[in-house]
Structure 1
Amino acid sequence: MTTDTATDVFEQHRPLLLGVAYRMLGRVADAEDVVQDAWLRWSAADRAEVRAPRAYLVRVTTRLALDRLARIKSRNEAYVGPWLPEPYVTDFGDTVQDTAERAVLADSVSLAVLVVLESLSPLERAVFVLREAFGYPYAEIGAVLDRTEAAVRQLAGRARRHVEERRPRYEVDPAQRRELTERFLAAAADGDLEALMELLAPDARLVGDSGGKAKAPLRTLESADHIGRFLIGVARRGVPDLSYRFVEVNGGFAVLVLSGDKADSVFQLDVAEGRVQAVYIIRNPDKLRALAA
């Protein structure tokens, strides 16, 4: 296998490897580092002995991600305030034509699901990602993790029950989320508390991630009243040289807020029954660098 062919094979599988690593780790930079390490392993391997490049690369990437996950978990224990995954720009529309498959991929990378995955053990998380997001057979997951098929089935069952018990049960219609996001943005910008209260579910919650490096609530805000008043206060303080653009992150419609040419924040809404159930705001500048490029 020539070097050019080896590169072509790796690049063919790069989106899959990045998708696995990001779902495992919740940070784009960490996922990219893992994929780069996988490339180094691939380029140094005796590829004549590799019968199934895709399986080999997924196995290497998953194991590297597991190693890195242990370091990330210890880092997150000292995190200031609520933690949210780094926004991950997604666009499944051009690459995934099947609507059901697109929904599965979008759900598996959503902010709400990735937060729940943080509470799984590393092995449970690996099994859940490979099985639920990418549909790997139990036997293949066992080969990736050096576990028996029976052990993988047990891990998958525990992980699935854990996620189902804790994940928000929102059936999000993309068009409805976009429409409500635009109305929500207009109400917040206008300082219209009444309009915000009409859009927010009574038991809505707001999760703000700043990592202690920007202004954001250090605890999750509960109730429409608390959220509405907080957002009105933010609107009154204003953002210098404010602009915004719509983006798709983590499989859903979101808003990137800019201060000049610098990313100030990303916010995304979870919507159900025509009301906003959750507001996610990411303001940690370390997690926003790639979005304003």
Structure 2
Amino acid sequence: MTPVPDPHDSRDATGDAAVRRRLLAIAYRMTGSRHDAEDVVQEGLTRWHQLTDDQRNLVREPLAWLTRVVSRLCLDQLRSARAQREQYRGIWLPEPELGDSGSEPADPADRVTLDDSVSYAFLVALEKLTPAERVSFILHDVFAVPFAEIAGTVGRSPAACRQLAVTARAHLAAEPRFDVAGPERDRAVAAFLDACRGGDLRSLAEVLDPDVVSVADGGEQILVARRPVVGADAVATYLLGVLATQDGHATLSLEQINGRLGIAVRDGAALVGTVDLAIVNRRVVRIAMQVNPDKLTTHVDD
């Protein structure tokens, strides 16, 4: 059995809840999966406990040591997942985080949970990066880890890691820019939900951008469009058709998804879907629906 760490022991970083939150924040951004993030953080903490007292005493900064170990595990996971996702049935989307991320964190370092790096649209964009680009970019640009330390994680020189981050920024800069969280965006999300509930095709199409794109991840179990649906009329027809199949069992509500207002779809207590919306000029330009049960299993009301 793994010993319980002493929170007052400066050599045992695992005794600090803020350390675990930070490691989870890093791992979630790297993997796009809550399950994978929890697994790699637990593995990193286990490796710390497996060190002897003498080995731990040689570690100057336990958090830096844990960050490096967790990041390496994420890098390995990303390399393995890259091949798996190429064979994924349909469109792969990240696992959502539900809940209000707007509260002030206890540790100022945890303010990273409030910024754009955890938004659902940003996590989707990160999927276009190579594993090494993603790890280098997240560690440096989001968590301010020096390139000299990142080099030991990625297995390349500091200069090479710097170039990886530069390339990642260029890829991300080419992505469309969406409205950030705020009252205007929230009103657009609410208008979309009202239109969906109303069931009127014209009303729903009016809140959509003419070139809106809708994507959905149903995994192996849920039948969804396996390719993007494009265009206001096509997307509106598609969405209302999906809602019609629910026979009134599903309830839609406004909830915080990855720190911003989105839509949760529930069947009783069980979460059966999330809808993330990208907004530009008060219109919906991109819809990302996560309905894969394997990525929603932990979200059940008590």
TM-score (norm: length of structure 1): 0.90
Give the match for residue 51 of structure 1: 60
Distance, in Å, in 2 between the alignment partners of 1:95 and 1:63 is: 30
Letter in 2 for 1:163: L
Distance, in Å, in 2 between the alignment partners of 1:34 and 1:192 is: 46
Distance, in Å, in 1 between the alignment partners of 2:142 and 2:100 is: 16
Letter in 2 for 1:174: G
Find 2:237's aligned residue among 217, 229, 234.
229
Paired positions, count: 291
Contact 1:177–1:269 (CA under 8 A) maintained in structure 2: no
Note the aligned Cα RMSD (angstroms).
2.5
Find 2:33's aligned residue among 7, 12, 27.
27
Give the match for residue 264 of structure 1: 272
Give the match for residue 17 of structure 1: 23
Distance, in Å, in 2 between the alignment partners of 1:10 and 1:145 is: 26
Distance, in Å, in 2 between the alignment partners of 1:256 and 1:170 is: 20
Letter in 1 for 2:235: I
Q: Please give the residue correspondences for 1:80-119 in structure 2 after superposition, counting only pairs within 5 Å.
A: 80-89=89-98, 91-96=100-105, 105-119=114-128
TM-superposed deviation, 1:76 = 1.2
Give the match for residue 218 of structure 1: 226
Give the match for residue 5 of structure 2: 3
Contact 2:253–2:264 (CA under 8 A) maintained in structure 1: yes
Give the match for residue 185 of structure 1: 193
TM-superposed deviation, 1:280 = 1.0
Letter in 2 for 1:48: N
Q: Please give the residue correspondences for 1:266-281 in structure 2 after superposition, counting only pairs within 5 Å.
A: 266-281=274-289
Give the match for residue 138 of structure 1: 147
Deviates more, 1:101-110 or 1:278-287: 101-110
SS class of match (1:265): strand
Q: Which has the higher helix share?
A: 1
Distance, in Å, in 2 between the alignment partners of 1:57 and 1:8 is: 9
Contact 1:213–1:284 (CA under 8 A) maintained in structure 2: yes
Distance, in Å, in 2 between the alignment partners of 1:239 and 1:179 is: 27
Letter in 2 for 1:34: V
Deviates more, 1:274-283 or 1:103-112: 103-112
Distance, in Å, in 2 between the alignment partners of 1:150 and 1:233 is: 52
Contact 1:92–1:102 (CA under 8 A) maintained in structure 2: no
Distance, in Å, in 1 between the alignment partners of 2:28 and 2:127 is: 12
Give per-residue Cα distances to partners, 1:59-98, cap 9 Å, x unaligned: 0100111111222222212211111101123644223599
Give the match for residue 155 of structure 1: 164
Deviates more, 1:278-287 or 1:6-15: 6-15
SS class of match (1:292): coil
Pair 95,144 (structure 1): closer, same or farther in 2 beyond 3 Å: farther
Deviates more, 1:218-227 or 1:187-196: 187-196
Contact 1:81–1:218 (CA under 8 A) maintained in structure 2: yes
Distance, in Å, in 2 between the alignment partners of 1:131 and 1:90 is: 27
Give per-residue Cα distances to partners, 1:20-72, cap 9 Å, x unaligned: 11111111101100000011011112211111111111001001111112222
Letter in 2 for 1:237: T
Distance, in Å, in 2 between the alignment partners of 1:97 and 1:49 is: 29
TM-score (norm: length of structure 2): 0.88
Give the match for residue 202 of structure 1: 210
Deviates more, 1:123-132 or 1:5-14: 5-14
Residue identity (%): 38
SS class of match (2:276): strand
Give per-residue Cα distances to partners, 1:190-242, cap 9 Å, x unaligned: 11112112110111110111013113211101111101111222233334533
Distance, in Å, in 2 between the alignment partners of 1:15 and 1:224 is: 40
Please list every run of 5 or more consecutive structure 2 residues that lacks an aligned counterpart in the other structure.
Answer: none
